[in-house]
Structure 1
Amino acid sequence: MNIATTDEAQEPVPEGMVALDQIPFGRFHFKVTVMTFGANFSDGYALGIIGSALPMITTQWGLNGFWQGMLASSALIGLFFGSLILGRVSDRIGRQRVYVLNFVLIAAASLAQFWAPNVEILFVLRLLIGFGLGADYAVGPTLLSEFAPRKSRGLMLASLTVLWTVGYVIANIIGAYVNVGPDTWRWLLASGFIPALFVLIVRIGSPESPGWLISKGRGEEAKHIAAKYLNTGNVYIPAAHLEEKSSYAELFSPELRKSTWFGILFYSFQVLPYFAIYTFVYTILEAMKVHDANLQNLVINLFLLAGGIAGLWAIQKFPRRGFTFWTFVIMAVMLVLLGILSGASAWLMLIPFVIYSFVMSGASNITQVYPPELFPTHLRGSGVGLLNATSRIASAIGTFFLPISLEKWGVSVSMYWLAGVLALGALVTWAWAPATESKKLV
């Protein structure tokens, strides 16, 4: 009998059968991608809309700098706890239940923002939204990666970030041009209920991850799902290596700690400048003495969208390691140039700003691709959750400190230290980044 082997583990696959990640891309692969990137759209929308609503809330409620920073970072704080806790839960009880139920919380809390009576209640509601979205950041790409064909995995996972950018850009455009009076911010924040409800509805009835089932020794259930949803009855189910006593400590074992630390650092160094800059983009444009901030912000957002789409091609074209390293380098250089040009004409400063936006948007695609590829199945939810959680600490730190930095030291110094963060990301990638594009995940 002829034997076929998988790319990474050289595990024999009997002739006439197919490994789960070698099933050709089909209708259900597209459907599960759509179900998953709906969450990223909702996240981008929720985090984008607060940037537009915050100046209105500040004016109406007379918020000080502390509460502005707390509201701006509230969803990010919730993301930390949601990713950390529910990523681990998904490794224990399965992906599917978390994948569906978290959007009940997100939809309810999004709508409730309309009636928030004070800043404290609004802060709690945005924490809850972040908690639910954090769960999806851990579980969504994990579940999707365990369904994805290996050849299409990068494209499928990278599309999640593109839809985040779409949600973020739409939120910015709506926030800039919708005005229904002094309570406009309530309508803006509550509008996040609409995409959240849509995601909840389309996810009802979604199946469990066959990869997770295999890791728990439930191969027959995985075969049933493959036959029903992937239209194949000849899927090969490898022997499960049960890890009932696995824990977060295993992520820092000698076998995994390099991957774990790389994931934590590269993800954190990339998103810290991203969230900080785009949450306070109007403040930055004002400091740059831009007269038509809405127009320039629209230009920046269009470059964000274009960069995300271009990044889909780049993820498929280039190795993960080289793509990550060189995008870090380019982004750092653009922020240094932005600092040097501080005080020049607004349109001249816009050049490095839009290049940074284009490259950052494309580069951020890798944050959905690398994390699931770094960990084994029985720890994938925990590992992806940990990376998302720690990256949100970095995001919250950047979001909290950037307005302070702009006020005390101005645009130039602020751009220099943000560029330094990106340079550290390049160094970490050069030293530790693995090649994972051909890795077998199940």
Structure 2
Amino acid sequence: MKGSTRCIEDVPLNGFHRKLTLCSGGGSFVDGYVLSIIGIAMLQMSAALQLSEFWQGMIAASALIGVFFGGFLGGVLTDSLGRKCVYFIGPVLFIVCSLAQLWVASAPALFVCRFILGLAVGIEYPVATALLVEFLPRRYRGPRLAALTIMWFAGAAFAYIVGNLLMSQGGEQAWRYVLASAAAIGLVLLLVRLGTPESPRWLLSKGRTAEADEVIKGVYGPGFSLANLPEQPDTRSGSLWGLLLNGYGKRLVFVTLFWSCSIIPVFAVYAFAPKVLQALNLKGDWAAFGSIAITLLFVIGCIFASKLINVMGRRSMLIHSFLWSGLALLLLGLFPDGNEMLVLALFGAYALFIGGAQVLQLVYPNELFPTEIRAVAVGIGTSLSRIGAAVGTYLVPFSLQSVGIGHTMYVAAAVTLVGLAAAWAMAPETRSLSLRDAAALSH
């Protein structure tokens, strides 16, 4: 088929798409790395800076607080200034703030560095995913966006490897090298992103048609032009108010609700897996094995989901993910005193089945909103979902102590089943649709 008659969403995957997936996935990788590396350095860092329990908690939470503000900021900047410009803010902040941790001498200074790193992570989500989805062919849109979730776990795993290696070799100042190590990833991310073009869809939305046409020819070949991108400019506001006024309020509620319900139990389980497993009578080697197995099953669940997303469809995958993972949590609540194999099997089932909802966190927000407000919607979803995750994680130790493990599992199951209700009532099907049709309110 000639380029002059072919929609760019139907072209084969090429080297540019593969590189852009890698570049955009770097943001999720750094997120996993930055949020995990602090735990490795915490013990030595606390002693060196004489941190009180208050400052230990604040520094541990600082990056999550930054992600909350960064999501909002990144969404607004990406839709107003463009994808290409904002695409380089995160890597620069990763480099500068990571290196600054080599010289911090107080808890407030370290808090500021970690907060800005979280800010950079929050900025990454809307810009990296919006730029990627606006170039990807429709056939590969779901699987490629879903794969970014796997990058988070890869970053977390890499943090444990690098962090423990540096801690064993770095002496009394090892914690500084551990925290500063994220600068190397930021530098790599900055270098590989050089030369990334602006999104033609964003250019078109701003009336910059000549530039949009030039980008299309540069990426897809001289036989392609704006005629191969059937999307017209729009004047919709990129603000939250503009989002609501233009009929996308219901979709924003859906995205925020399902995103929050899918990560609240995950963050809680992931952060307190040993404590939760101990409460379920798994001790010693069983608890250690269980923590590792659950982490691996989270990854496997996301991998399976990314492979099945075009087979099952978005709506069906989300409903089944919440249904079966919620059932696993419910059974854990019913049998908190079950034998080791039963507990591990149910926890493993939860980790495996929740993968569908996990990978859709970056797929649905990017498909359900038009170019003019896409990044703002992703940013809002990122920020608001982190509130629930932070609150849920904070409450887990209190819940275990006050109401016990059984009722804690009931609460986690209830959160998951709220996600199921939201999916059943509001989740649309966007599989096989063009990006323009997926974002239209009519389907």
Give the TM-score of the pair, scaled to structure 2: 0.88
Change beyond 3 A, Cα 1:115–1:333? farther
CA displacement, residues 386-414 of structure 1 (integer Å, 9 cap, x when unaligned): 11111111222122222332343333232
2:132 paired with 1:144: yes
> 1:77 & 1:56 partners in 2: Cα distance?
23
Contact 2:321–2:355 at 8 Å: present in 1 too?
no
> 1:283 & 1:67 partners in 2: Cα distance?
22
Give the TM-score of the pair, scaled to structure 1: 0.89
Aligned to 2:320: 326
The alpha carbon displacement at 1:243 in A equals 1.1
One-letter amino acid of the counterpart of residue 193, structure 2: R
2:208 paired with 1:197: no
Aligned to 1:34: 22
> 1:214 & 1:67 partners in 2: Cα distance?
47
Contact 1:69–1:400 at 8 Å: present in 2 too?
no
One-letter amino acid of the counterpart of residue 291, structure 2: N
The alpha carbon displacement at 1:309 in A equals 1.4
Contact 1:173–1:298 at 8 Å: present in 2 too?
no
Alignment partner of 2:355 out of 357, 361, 365: 361
Aligned to 1:247: 239
CA displacement, residues 366-394 of structure 1 (integer Å, 9 cap, x when unaligned): 11111111111111111111111111112
Aligned to 1:234: 224
Q: Which piece of structure 1 moves more, 302-311 or 380-389?
A: 302-311
2:284 paired with 1:291: yes
One-letter amino acid of the counterpart of residue 278, structure 1: Y
> 1:82 & 1:415 partners in 2: Cα distance?
31
2:260 paired with 1:272: no
2:413 paired with 1:413: no
CA displacement, residues 2-55 of structure 1 (integer Å, 9 cap, x when unaligned): xx9xxxxxxxxx993222322321110111001100111111122233344445
> 2:251 & 2:96 partners in 1: Cα distance?
36
Aligned to 2:439: none
> 1:61 & 1:331 partners in 2: Cα distance?
42
Contact 1:154–1:315 at 8 Å: present in 2 too?
yes
Change beyond 3 A, Cα 1:279–1:271? same
Alignment partner of 1:350 out of 327, 344, 350: 344
2:397 paired with 1:399: no
Aligned to 2:441: none
Alignment partner of 1:154 out of 118, 135, 142: 142
Change beyond 3 A, Cα 1:382–1:168? same
- How many residues are treated as equivalent by the alignment? 430
> 1:348 & 1:188 partners in 2: Cα distance?
38
> 2:359 & 2:320 partners in 1: Cα distance?
14
> 1:162 & 1:424 partners in 2: Cα distance?
24
> 1:337 & 1:63 partners in 2: Cα distance?
40
**What are the residue-to-residue correspondences of 1:3-402 with 2, within 5 Å?**
16-54=4-42, 57=45, 66-172=54-160, 179-180=167-168, 184-235=174-225, 236=227, 237-238=229-230, 240-243=232-235, 245-253=237-245, 255-288=247-280, 289-292=282-285, 293-402=287-396
* Aligned-partner SS, 2:247: coil
Contact 2:301–2:352 at 8 Å: present in 1 too?
yes
5+ unaligned residues in a row in structure 2: which ranges? 437-443
5+ unaligned residues in a row in structure 1: which ranges? 5-13
> 1:60 & 1:356 partners in 2: Cα distance?
39
Alignment partner of 2:433 out of 429, 434, 439: 439
| Percent of aligned pairs with the same amino acid | 37
The alpha carbon displacement at 1:126 in A equals 1.7
The alpha carbon displacement at 1:61 in A equals 6.3
Contact 2:3–2:223 at 8 Å: present in 1 too?
no
> 1:63 & 1:285 partners in 2: Cα distance?
29
* Aligned-partner SS, 2:187: helix
> 1:349 & 1:182 partners in 2: Cα distance?
40
